Structure 1
Amino acid sequence: MSLSALLEERRPQRADARRNFDAVLDAAVLAYAELGAGVGMEEIARRAGVGVATLYRNFPTRIALMEAVYLAAVDELVRFGESIEEPDPWRALEMWLLKFVDFMRTKHPIVTVLTESSVVYVPTRDAIYGIADPLVERARHAGEVRLDVDADDVMRVIFAVTGGLYRDDAQLHGAVRIVLDGIRPRVPQRPAR
């Protein structure tokens, strides 16, 4: 099932209830980015322009709201990955990874709270790897990524890098550039046929 479908399952059917659901989701995205994962549900309801009871009717727990925010964000990230039409394999992979880094930077407060036991963990992980695997493989086949590196290696290092504390975005992007340099072969390689 797609991430869009998983999120759609959670959306109410009535138009006014859907508007409230979407308003809460939008307010939560901004509140988490601005104030972190500890922001109160009352603050999110206030920002959404709905009552606390309306918020809890749609999202019975703080984790349920975080899961919905994360599902929507990963769905957007995956749609970006699916839309990459860059013919150069390295550039396509680089575009995806830089977008992923920006995603992790803004969603880090949520990611740190959600665990492998979350109902959205497996579907979102699978969707992310569904984009990363072919991009890494294509770049590897073109000799642009080391033959001993696979998508899991790349994603784990990117997860680790984005989890660090940085002075500013420039320092984060410098660390990502080191990772990108590290996955490239010193001399062009071609896989054995």
Structure 2
Amino acid sequence: MRSDARFNRIRILEAAAEVLAVPGDTSLKSIARRAGVGQGTLYRHFPTRESLVLQVYGEEVEELVKAVPVLLDTLSPPLALRAWLQRLLILGRCTPEFAETMCAATGVLTEECRNAYEPLLDALSALVAANDRGGTIAPGTTADDVLLLLGPLWRVGSIEEERARPARLFDLLMRGLCPSDRP
């Protein structure tokens, strides 16, 4: 990649991180404007909104992926799954753009999105497989199933009186996934 293209990519990622961090206009147009590049330049680097969002939160995704072996080495499979999903739930609740992208990621993905999404799905698949081998997860459960069930929890409890609801629903989700697990 040419140095000017690399510089533009970095500026776009920095601008996107700033724009996505605050409520308001998070359109690709506003990100391009903040980065000081044209929309064409933004689309050359990030052909879809999802690919840009997944790159912005790439470090967080990488940390989640790296956490799986550690969790499986130190906790039982159900508790490792619970701990990992709690981290993913917190990330999605703190970063709505990431949560929205993850919910959309269960559909047809571009190659760039798939490359960013698959490590996360593979990490979750390893946790599901460990639970499957131990007989501690509902038979036939897939990582895609778990993400689909977790998705709505990213949007629940935004008003004050509902703040406890996501934790309660997460516990319900975990009891359904791993019926023998009691935290």
The answer to whether the superposition gives a TM-score over 0.5 is yes
Q: Cα deviation per residue 1:126-149 (whole Å; 9 max; x = unaligned)?
A: 332211111112123334333453
Q: Does 1:181 align with 2:180?
A: no
Aligned counterparts of 1:125 and 1:186: Cα–Cα separation in 2: 30
* Code of the aligned partner of 2:179: P
Query: Which structure 1 residue ranges, 5 or more long, are not aligned?
Result: 1-11, 189-193
Matched-pair contact (CA < 8 Å) for 1:140–1:147? yes
Change (3 A) 1:45 1:149: closer
**Kindly tell me: are residues 61 and 110 of structure 1, through their superposed partners in 2, closer, same or farther at Cα, counting changes over 3 Å?**
farther
Pairing of 1:125-164 with structure 2 (within 5 A): 125-147=117-139, 149-164=141-156
1:69-100: per-residue Cα shift (whole Å, max 9, x none)?
Answer: 22442564144223331221223212221222
The residue type paired with residue 57 of structure 1 is T
Is the aligned partner of 1:67 residue 2:51?
A: yes
Identity of aligned pairs, percent?
Answer: 21
- SS of 2:83's partner is helix
Q: Would you say how many aligned residue pairs link Structure 1 and Structure 2?
A: 172
1:24, 1:44 within 8 Å by CA — same for their partners in 2? yes
Equivalent residue for 1:39, pick from 22, 26, 30: 26
Could you say which structure has the larger radius of gyration? Answer: 1
1: distance between equivalents of 2:119 and 2:29?
32
Q: Give the letter for the 2:2 counterpart.
A: Q
Quote the Cα distance in structure 2 between the aligned partners of 1:131 and 1:143: 19
The alignment partner of 2:48 has SS state of helix
Q: Per the alignment, do residues 65 and 25 of structure 1 end up closer, same or farther by CA in structure 2, a change over 3 Å counting?
A: farther
**Unmatched 5+ stretches in structure 2:** none
Q: Deviations over 1:13-47 (max 9, x none)?
A: 31x542332232122133124235x5344543454
Q: Helix, strand or coil: the match of 1:52?
A: coil
In structure 1, how many angstroms separate the alpha carbons of the residues matched to 2:49 and 2:145? Answer: 30
Q: 2: distance between equivalents of 1:35 and 1:61?
A: 24
Aligned positions of 1:33-112 closer than 5 A: 33-35=21-23, 38-41=25-28, 43-45=30-32, 47-48=34-35, 51-53=36-38, 56-60=40-44, 64-74=48-58, 76-84=60-68, 85-86=70-71, 87=73, 88=75, 89-105=77-93, 106=95, 107-111=98-102
Q: Report Cα offsets for 1:138-188 as digits up to 9, x if no partner.
A: 123334333453433322211233244632654323322221122222489
